[in-house]
Structure 1
Amino acid sequence: MAVNKQSNIKAILDTDLEKLLKKTKQYNSFVDGELKCIYCGTPITIDNLSIIIPEVRCKNVSLNFCCNNSVCLAKFREEHE
């Protein structure tokens, strides 16, 4: 018998992404290509952005990113099972 693991998919609109990046003061870094995938170091763009990972440090929220590379997505899944 196969077990079907249900997952919730959360999505963000492009317009909301801009607001979120500005709120975390990462918008200019995103536009300048300075934000990197936490797994492979590839610059994050609107075309390869797959997962946004919030990180809280001293009550400040910053965002980490995972690109759409299948190896990086597998690493993310392994860490968050």
Structure 2
Amino acid sequence: MTAATITSKGLATIPVDVRNHLGLESGDRLEFSFNEETGRYEVYPATRLLALLKGIVKKPAKPVSIEDMNHAVAEQGTSAR
């Protein structure tokens, strides 16, 4: 198992073998996701191309008009106050 130490400022150096395995380079960003099934956090490189995200969000069963979207946003805005 590979380990790292967290500094008083919350920083950690990612070991070289982990960086290489994840394809990380200086300046890359990481995403942290909580896996409810395992109760653990998972770390992912945030280097995905936008094109790879296609299809993640399913199309709605019926088309939604701009007016309906504006109404929903306005409702959320007033309920948040």
TM-score interval, normalised by the smaller of the two chains: 0.3 to 0.5
Higher RCO structure, 1 or 2 (CA under 8 Å, sep 6+): 1
TM-score, structure 2 as length reference: 0.34
Larger proportion of strand:
1
Rg comparison, structure with higher value: 2
